[in-house]
Amino acid sequence: MQLYWSSRSPYARKVMATAYECGVADQITCVRTLVSMAQPNIDFLSIHPMGKIPTLVLGDGQVIYDSSIICEYLDTLNPNSTLFPKNGVARWQALQRLAIGNAMLDNLVLWRNEYTRPQSQQSPETLTAFHLKIKSALHNLNKLCTTYNMIEIDIGHITIACALSYLQFRFAALDWHASYTELSKWHQLFKCRPAMQLTEHVDI
């Protein structure tokens, strides 16, 4: 399988961390792919019509996107993997965590796009709104994470951890650890998992 990927993309990291957690990472070849919201990678549009990474291409040519669907596909490759619980409370809790993690990622990526525009084109209201929403999510997770452990992990935990790591990677000056101490403790532990260690962001 080929994964169109970048070491800077938090969605691509989520997929590779999932692949390591499922034990299928060795079946994936990462293909470094440059994409940008404002400058479409024209060649890549023939693989993903909206030009987004991560995108997985299977051996038979079938294309799978976006990150959550790729993760669910990878989970099916290992019959012992339970990152996407099949039913019951565990399923809805995992999907709920996945949803907030994805929403944080979307917010952070758009926020970064906004603040890297020339200053004269930036919208201060939009920047403030992105910041406020991230603080709201951190506040919420700081309470919820006291029930998380390192044994029963699901796709939601991986996604939240990737969002927090991306927050650290691109918004280090915010120093969120100081204000959300429970979440920080959980994230420090989660970051030690091999799946996270092996997928650290690299800014190249």
103 touching ligand GSH, by CB under 6 A: no
Measured distance CA(84)–CA(71) in Å, rounded: 9
Instruction: Determine the 3-state secondary structure of 3 from DSSP.
Output: strand
- Rounded to a whole number of angstroms, the minimum distance from the CB of residue 197 to ligand GSH is 21
Shorter beta-carbon distance to ligand GSH: residue 66 or 72: 66
Of 51-59, 118-126, 153-161, 174-182, which part binds ligand GSH (CB under 6 A)? Answer: 51-59
Contact criterion met (CB below 8 Å) for 68 and 18: no
13 touching ligand GSH, by CB under 6 A: no
Measured distance CA(100)–CA(131) in Å, rounded: 15
108 touching ligand GSH, by CB under 6 A: no
Instruction: Determine the 3-state secondary structure of 64 from DSSP.
Output: strand
Nearest alpha carbon to residue 26 among 80, 83, 77: 77
Find the binder of ligand GSH among 5, 9, 13, 138 (CB under 6 A): 9
Contact criterion met (CB below 8 Å) for 8 and 202: yes
Find the binder of ligand GSH among 3, 19, 53, 64 (CB under 6 A): 53
- State the CB neighbour count (10 A cutoff) for residue 128: 10
35 touching ligand GSH, by CB under 6 A: yes
Interface positions, 121-150, toward ligand GSH (CB under 6 A): none
109 touching ligand GSH, by CB under 6 A: yes
Shorter beta-carbon distance to ligand GSH: residue 51 or 156: 51
First to last CA, the chain: 23
Contact criterion met (CB below 8 Å) for 28 and 64: no
Interface positions, 55-84, toward ligand GSH (CB under 6 A): 65-68
| Site residues for ligand GSH per CB under 6 A | 9, 11, 35-37, 51-54, 65-68, 109
